[in-house]
């Protein structure tokens, strides 16, 4: 079945540690996205990528980094520079970074202790 996988579903880390969230898609989509969602809030864009080896900052990129070495994979690293990293992280993909609907993964809930 085609879709987007994110792992793990729940993640706990100590303050000051970097952590990488995985996102893989087998939909053959060109564009991929990372969003952050805080309780009772909408989704805020962290980074997006339209093609391999290229990505752009979203609204809240500070304290995060990404890579896009393969079309299928778009991992997100939450660095120690991110002041409030505890949140729900959603990865999405779409056919092209244009007027196409996005398909979302199940999300990773990150808690920094």
In the complex, which residues of this chain contact other proteins (CB under 8 A)?
31, 33, 35, 40-45, 48, 50, 58-59, 88, 90, 92, 94, 96-107, 109
Q: Identify the CA nearest to 56 among candidates 36, 87, 105, 65.
A: 65
CB closer to other proteins, 13 vs 44: 44
Which residues make Cβ contacts (< 8 Å) with residue 104, sequence separation at least 6?
A: 4, 90, 91, 92
Identity of the residue, 30 or 72, whose beta carbon is nearer to other proteins in the bound complex = 30
- In the complex with other proteins, which residue's Cβ is closer, 16 or 40? 40
Q: How far is the CB of 16 from other proteins (least distance, A)?
A: 27
Contacts of residue 42, Cβ cutoff 8 Å, sequence gap at least 6: none
Residue number, 59 or 69, with CB nearest to other proteins: 59
Work out the burial of residue 107: count CB atoms within 10 Å of its CB; fewer than 13 is exposed, 13-18 middle, 19 or more buried. middle
Smallest distance, other proteins to C-beta of residue 67, A:
19
């Amino acid at each position: 079945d085609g879709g987007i996988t994110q792992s793990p579903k729940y993640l706990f880390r100590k303050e000051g540690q970097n952590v990488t969230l995985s996102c893989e898609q087998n939909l053959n989509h060109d564009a991929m996205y990372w969003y952050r969602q805080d309780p009772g809030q909408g989704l805020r864009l962290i980074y997006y990528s339209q093609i391999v080896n290229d990505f752009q900052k979203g609204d809240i990129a500070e304290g995060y980094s990404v890579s896009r070495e393969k079309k299928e994979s778009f991992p997100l690293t939450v660095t120690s520079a991110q002041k409030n990293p505890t949140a729900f992280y959603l990865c999405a993909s779409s056919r092209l970074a244009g007027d196409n609907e996005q398909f979302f993964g199940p999300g990773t809930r990150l808690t920094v202790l």
